Amino acid sequence: MKFPWGSKSTAPSLGPIIELWWFRFILTILTIAGAAIVSVTSFTDRNLVILSVYGILTVSMIGIELMRRRGTVRSSGIGLTKKTVSVITVAGLLAVVMLGIVLIACLLLGGTLSVPTPQLTFIGLTVIIVSSATEEVMFRGTIFQALLERFGPPVAIISTSILFGVAHLMNPGISILAILNVVLAGILLGSLVVRTQSLWAAISFHVVWNGCVYLFIGSVSGHTYQSVISTLESSAIPADLLWLVSGPFGVEQGLLTTVLLACAVPTVFKVMKPDAEIIAARRERNMAVPLQHDVI
């Protein structure tokens, strides 16, 4: 059965129950749990487990949307529109600028970039890209939209950002400032989705940020990787200044990152523009979000 990006779904409807926000919320949680169990019992390689769980979750998000009355891939927020390329570009540039500022600050304080023999592996980069993209499906997809419809943007953004922070509690090098930054990152990513209505905005920022940190700095959210293109050496930064830009969790732990994330949220609402095609698709689907939630 074929579903064009913007056409109406002809999938069997589950009736009124699929329109209930809490049902879609619970269905997504059960999907995550089921996908995790199936993947862990089917694969021994951690990378394959990650790819499998996130792949199932992405298919589930689209499937749930298609089962809704007049739901389409486009109304899910991940369908392609005329603005998708510009949304991806602007969000990606925002990540590059922010990370560039952090990296320059590290170098000015005494840090160095070592450039060893490149150790780029296809599977490593693939996992970083896929996991970053589908974390957005998990936290800013069906669950986020369900909360957005029922409670509005502030509750949807803050609650999913807290969940985003909780999901990183077991990462190596975690600290209070690192958790705060992860929660702030969640607020920024949620703001990107609310402002543009497109999941691609959050996906682009997350993928570009994690991808650049992986390639040029050598660690992502506390996880250290073999040198790829370059590695940030922070041992020469004075101990009393290191907390400003980095720490055991990496550059995502620095106070500078905190400031940049906080400043980026209002910037998103000033610079980014809503995607009218996604708004139209959601209105066509009779989405239960009040009109004032469509454009902020």
Residue at 74: amino acid letter: R
61-88: average pLDDT: 94
Output the pLDDT for position 119.
65
Residue 147 contacts residue 160 (beta carbons within 8 Å)? yes
Q: What is the reported pTM? A: 0.90
Output the pLDDT for position 118.
62
What gap in Å lies between CA 235 and CA 160, rounded to an integer? 35
Output the pLDDT for position 289.
39
Q: By C-alpha distance, which of 240, 275, 250 is closest to 185?
A: 250
Tens-digit pLDDT profile for residues 102-111: 999 999 999 9
CB neighbour list of residue 163: distance below 8 Å, 6 or more residues apart: 139, 186
Give the model's confidence band at 296: pLDDT under 50 very low, under 70 low, under 90 confident, else very high: very low
Q: What SS3 class is residue 232?
A: strand
What gap in Å lies between CA 232 and CA 261, rounded to an integer? 21
Give the model's confidence band at 273: pLDDT under 50 very low, under 70 low, under 90 confident, else very high: very high
**3-state helix/strand/coil string of 101-120:** HHHHHHHHCCCEEECCCCCC
What gap in Å lies between CA 285 and CA 6, rounded to an integer? 11
270 versus 126: which is more confidently predicted?
A: 270
- Mean pLDDT rounded to a whole number for the chain: 89
Residue 35 contacts residue 97 (beta carbons within 8 Å)? no
177-200: average pLDDT: 97
Structure tokens at 220: 């992502």
